[in-house]
Amino acid sequence: MKKILLSFLFLIVSTTLVFGQKIFNKNYSFGDNQKTVAFVPIVNNDFSKNDEIVNNVLKDTLNLKFIDVSILRTKLNSETFNILKKIAEKDYKSNELKKFPNLKTIINTNEIDLIKHSFQNADILLFPIVFNIEQKGGMTFGSSKFRLYDLNSGEFIQQFTEKTNVNISGDEGMEMMTAFLIISEKTNLLENMSRKK
């Protein structure tokens, strides 16, 4: 992981940002108390270092406490997975996003409570709705769509979409792209939080 972080400047130089979309609910308030965040584990690829990278990138801040994603992975039973699948399958139209749709428009209160209970009573759900990494021609291509919800109120907090590529392949490319996509999301979240103060 240290190698990834030391190479991060190189990654920024060699990365091409193809697309990015940021939507933030300016009406949402994080409040003054520290919020506990559950990052939904990446399940659509079998890269062995996913959890390690997530835990290394998502370090606690004064306002956010991130739950160990490897612990959350053990909580992904079929019932929880099926509820999360409903959320992931909801593809908001741009006019819907402008209204910051509540999580309760996708799943019911009991299902929200089940996720909250399964994920150690987290306050916020950080969900990689899309997290794809492909390699071809000596390059690594990444695309992601992260969505945040407040699990106490169901409020939509933000959605951040990005497509990018880097001129590195193999495991190093996988590690760097995974870290880059998650760092971008965390940076975006912290910037939005700072604007609310």
Total domains present in the chain: 1
Q: Is the pLDDT of residue 3 over 60?
A: no
Q: Rounded distance, CA 150 to CA 112, Å?
A: 10
Tell the residue number behind the tokens 């590195």, with chain if given.
Answer: 168
**Paired tokens of 86:** 């409903």
Average pLDDT, the chain: 88
**Paired tokens of 151:** 């699990």
Q: Is the pLDDT of residue 163 over 60?
A: yes
- Helix (H) or strand (E) holding 177, with range, is helix 170-195
pLDDT on residue 111: 97
pTM across the whole model: 0.88
Per-residue model confidence as pLDDT tens digits over 75-131: 999 999 999 999 999 999 888 988 999 999 999 999 999 999 999 999 999 999 999
Q: Rounded distance, CA 119 to CA 113, Å?
A: 10
State the pLDDT confidence band at 10, using cuts at 50, 70 and 90: very low
Per-residue model confidence as pLDDT tens digits over 23-39: 999 899 998 899 999 99
* Residue 152 belongs to domain with CATH number: 3.30.160
What residues make up the domain containing 113?
Answer: 2-195
- Helix (H) or strand (E) holding 37, with range, is strand 35-39
Where does residue 69 rank: exposed (0-12), middle (13-18), buried (19+ CB within 10 A)? buried
